[in-house]
Structure 1
Amino acid sequence: MARIGIIGSKGRMGQALADAIVAAGHELAGGIDQGDDPLALARQSDVLVDFSAPAALEANLDAAATAGVPIVVGTTGLEERHHWLCDHAAARIAVLQTGNTSLGVTLLAHLVREAASRLGEDWDIEIVETHHRMKVDAPSGTALLLGEAAAAGREVALAQVAVRGRDGITGARQPGAIGFASLRGGSVAGDHTVHFLADNERLELKHLAENRAIFARGAVRAAGWLLGKPAGRYTMPQVLGL
């Protein structure tokens, strides 16, 4: 049993995490939100789970590192500087950062990488994601995670081949491009489909999230797995042994 602290406890994910912690037989060490002290929470926890906001990440990582406790970062909308902060903290503590804590999505990313590696560039790749109307970032962290998996399968950098939205006279599709499309509306928890399209045939790899509880369960499993790990950067595929 681990004492797990929640950063972002009053949000929808925070509430789901609290339920998942208890269901998994762990202890809820407490929770904080904007304006609260992350160091106080870190000192009473065995591991932290952060689903807050990118602006709070630096303080949260500093608190975890100061207290010497591992941290699972599930916050989305991160930029290059945030990943540098994760690398910096990982020199002192175990850090698992991911765009999606769902175990199903983790396996999906593995399959996407395999498909992209084995299918040639004559197979076009398009990633379509749908989320609730209140989501503030696009493409979703999960879509980008899947894009990174596809790019890794092709041994290219996603930044060099990504196409984020099309409008007007765009010209023909560029070979090797990985396209993204984002839909927003209703109360959709998160749907992601990776399309592999060739002449006369298509392959679709899909994950449908029906409830945020799946992300909470995955995050709690990752938190338990992270306990006792040496300092470094870790990933969800490692949690599943992929």
Structure 2
Amino acid sequence: MTPVRVAIAGASGRMGRMLIEAALKDEGIVLAAAFDRPGSAFIGRDAGEMAGVASGVSIVDDAATALAAADCLIDFTRPEGTLHHLALARELGKAAVIGTTGFDAAGKAAVAAAAADIPVVFAPNMAVGVNAVFRLLEVAARILDQGYDVEVIEAHHRFKVDAPSGTALRMGEVVAEALGRDLEACAIYGREGVTGERAAETIGFSTIRGGDVVGDHTVLFAGIGERIEITHKSGSRMPYALGSLRAARFLAGRRSGLFDMQDVLGLR
């Protein structure tokens, strides 16, 4: 199989560096380009420098030039930047793997619109383990559909800018769908003051931000006399990077369509 040429956005960021390191070790992937925002101190430096490897690919500040050299964009930046990069990928006919979170409804609609012309994997979490948890949550929610309160607890590093995390929200969506509920109507985001008794149909979210926590997620099903907890903890960002490269390989040869990691893993 011909290796997939990828262009990595946000090359100097925490996730960008991990993606570059993973790409340089993957025989099915070629690091074709790496780019960052104009003015970054890393422009012109070797993309593999921070991973201790000479890649022969310099970080550039021109996204269009970077994408022209690749088959697939991989983007974990911010919603505004991702949408700009996605528009360029659409114009150039390039595939896209999007791990960025924090999109509003209009942003999600823009991603879906782009997928009419190019193939896109868009997922709140690219880690294979997390996507296994999504499936486990679906099964658990159907079994524990009566007499159990549901709470989603997530923790991330101090630099994360959106809350709850995209993964936590997707966990809530999976549970709500399995229970036949509308998450938008039943979600409770934090509690303060005299809240009254907990309504049985609600799904609660609690957010922790601090230190260098990569990402911890727990869904708690609390019944009378027992608790069931389904937890995923990330020790590094590498699982997200490896899942993203798997998604890029999945898109090879596809002309268009909107996919997520459940599609990539054959779980749908």
1:146: which partner in 2?
171
1:34 partner amino acid: R
Measured in 1, the distance between the counterparts of 2:216 and 2:62 equals: 34
Q: Any idea what the Cα deviations from partners look like across 1:178-210, whole Å, max 9, x if unmatched?
A: 110011112111111100111111111000100
Structure 2 residue matching 1:17: 3-state secondary structure: helix
Alignment partner, residue 37 of structure 2? 34
1:191-210 → structure 2 map (5 Å cutoff)? 191-210=216-235
**Other-structure match for 1:116:** 141
Q: Counterparts of 1:91 and 1:240 in 2: how far apart (Å)? A: 22
1:53-109, Cα deviation, whole Å (9 max, x unpaired)? 111122111111111111011011111111000111011011111111111001101
Residue type of the alignment partner of 1:179: G
Which structure is higher in RCO with an 8 Å CA cutoff and minimum separation 6? 1
TM-score, length basis structure 2 = 0.87
On the 8 A contact 1:191/1:208 being kept in 2, the answer is yes
Query: What is the Cα deviation at residue 136 of structure 1?
Result: 1.5
SS in 2 for 1:29: strand
- Does 2:94 match 1:69? yes
Q: TM-score, normalised by structure 1?
A: 0.96
Deviant stretches of 4+, over 4 Å: none
User: 1:60 is matched with which residue: 47, 68, 85?
Assistant: 85
- When structure 1 is superposed on structure 2, of 166-175 and 111-120 the one drifting more is 111-120
Shift in Å, 1:156: 2.3
Query: Is the CA contact 2:95–2:119 (under 8 Å) kept in the aligned structure 1?
Result: yes
In 2: Cα distance, 1:92 partner to 1:153 partner: 31
Q: Is the 8 A contact 1:57 1:82 kept in 2?
A: no
Choose the corresponding residue for 1:93, options 98, 101, 118.
118
Give the whole-Å Cα distance in 1 for the aligned partners of 2:89 and 2:142. 37
Q: Percent identity?
A: 40
1:2 alignment counterpart: 4
Note if contact 1:7-1:32 (Cα within 8 Å) is conserved in structure 2: yes
Which has more radius of gyration? Answer: 2
Which residue in 1 is equivalent to 2:54? none
Query: Does the CA contact (< 8 Å) of 1:121 and 1:175 recur in 2?
Result: no
159-168 vs 149-158, greater mean Cα deviation: 149-158
1:15 and 2:47 aligned = no
- Does residue 26 of structure 2 align to residue 24 of structure 1? yes
Look up the match of 2:49.
none
1:134-182 residue CA offsets vs partner (Å, 9 max, x unmatched): 2111111111111111112112221111111001111111121111001
Partner of 2:52: none
Q: Is residue 217–residue 231 contact of structure 2 (8 Å, CA) maintained in 1?
A: yes
- Secondary structure of 1:3 counterpart: strand
Runs of 5+ consecutive residues of structure 1 not aligned to the other structure: none
Contact residue 33 and residue 67 of structure 2 kept, 8 A: no
**In 2: Cα distance, 1:154 partner to 1:39 partner:** 44
Q: Are 2:250 and 1:234 aligned?
A: no
Count of matched residue pairs: 242
Counterpart check, 1:218 vs 2:243 = yes
- Which residue of the partner structure matches residue 202 of structure 2? 177
Comparing 216-225 with 113-122, greater Cα deviation is found at 113-122
**Structure 2, unpaired ranges of 5+:** 39-60
* Other-structure match for 1:80: 105
Give the conservation status (yes or no) of the 8 Å contact 1:10–1:33.
yes
**Superposed displacement of residue 111, structure 1:** 0.8
